[in-house]
C-alpha cells in the first residue's frame, strides 16, 4: 500500500514539475514538439532512476557513516554530472542509433534540477532503496506526463489564432499555470 501512495503522490499530487516547480527549463524548452518531449522523458527517466540509486547508496554508505552528510548537495550534483557523462559515452559506443536519438537531451539532463530534486527528496523522505527507486520512477512518469500534455497543448496552440503579443513563451507560461492549477485538483487524494 505504501508503494501505491508513493506512486500516486509523485505522479499527481506532488508532481515534480507542476507542484514542486523543478525541471522547468526542459519543461518550457523542449516542449515544442511531442517527439522531443518523448525523447527527453526517456532520457530523464533513465538518468533519474540511476542517479537515485547511486545517490542513495552514496548517502547511506559513505556520507552518513563518515559524518559528512553536509556535503550531500555538491556530491549529488557531481554524481549526476558524472552519470550523465558515463551514459553518454556508453551510448555512443554501444548504441549509436540511441545516442543519436537522445543526443541533445543527455547534456540537458546534467542541468535538470528535477533529477537532483528527486535524489534529495528520496533521502529527505527517509525512503529505503526500493521505495527510492519507486519514487524516482513515479516522478519520472509524472515529469513525462506533464511534459507530454504540455507539448501536445503547445502543438495545438500553433494551429489557433493567438494574439501576436501572446505567441510563444507568454502563452506557454499561461498554459503551464493552468495545467498546474488543474493538477492542484489532485490535492487531498493522498
Domains in the chain: boundaries: 11-186
Position 188 scores a pLDDT of 79
Task: Give the per-residue pLDDT at 11.
Answer: 94
Whether the pTM exceeds 0.95: the reply is no
Rounded to an integer, what distance in angstroms lies between the CA atom of residue 17 and that of residue 165? 26
Q: Give CA–CA dist 43/64, Å, rounded.
A: 30
C-alpha to C-alpha distances, 128 to 58, 96, 108, 143, nearest whole angstrom: 13, 35, 28, 22
CB contact at 8 A, 84 and 103:
no
State the cell numbers at 142.
509524472
CB 43 within 8 A of CB 50: no
Instruction: Please list the ranges in the chain whose pLDDT falls under 70.
Output: 101-104
How far apart (Å, rounded) are the C-alpha atoms in residues 20 and 9?
Answer: 12
Q: Are 51 and 115 spatial neighbours (Cβ–Cβ below 8 Å)?
A: yes
| Cα→Cα distances 174→95, 152, 169, 171, Å | 39, 15, 9, 5
Amino acid at each position: 500500500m505504501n508503494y501505491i501512495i508513493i506512486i500516486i503522490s509523485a505522479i499527481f499530487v506532488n508532481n515534480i514539475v507542476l507542484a514542486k516547480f523543478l525541471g522547468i527549463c526542459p519543461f518550457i524548452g523542449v516542449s515544442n514538439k511531442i517527439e522531443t518531449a518523448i525523447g527527453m522523458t526517456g532520457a530523464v527517466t533513465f538518468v533519474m532512476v540511476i542517479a537515485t540509486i547511486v545517490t542513495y547508496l552514496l548517502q547511506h554508505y559513505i556520507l552518513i557513516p563518515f559524518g559528512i552528510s553536509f556535503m550531500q548537495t555538491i556530491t549529488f550534483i557531481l554524481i549526476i554530472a558524472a552519470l550523465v557523462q558515463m551514459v553518454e559515452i556508453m551510448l555512443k559506443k554501444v548504441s549509436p542509433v540511441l545516442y543519436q536519438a537522445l543526443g541533445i537531451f543527455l547534456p540537458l539532463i546534467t542541468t535538470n534540477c528535477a533529477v537532483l530534486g528527486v535524489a534529495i527528496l528520496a533521502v529527505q523522505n527517509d525512503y529505503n532503496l526500493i521505495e527510492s527507486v519507486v519514487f524516482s520512477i513515479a516522478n519520472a512518469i509524472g515529469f513525462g506526463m506533464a511534459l507530454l500534455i504540455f507539448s501536445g497543448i503547445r502543438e495545438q496552440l500553433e494551429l489557433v489564432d493567438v494574439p501576436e503579443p501572446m505567441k510563444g513563451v507568454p502563452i506557454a507560461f499561461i498554459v503551464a499555470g493552468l495545467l498546474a492549477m488543474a493538477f492542484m485538483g489532485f490535492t487531498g487524494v493522498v
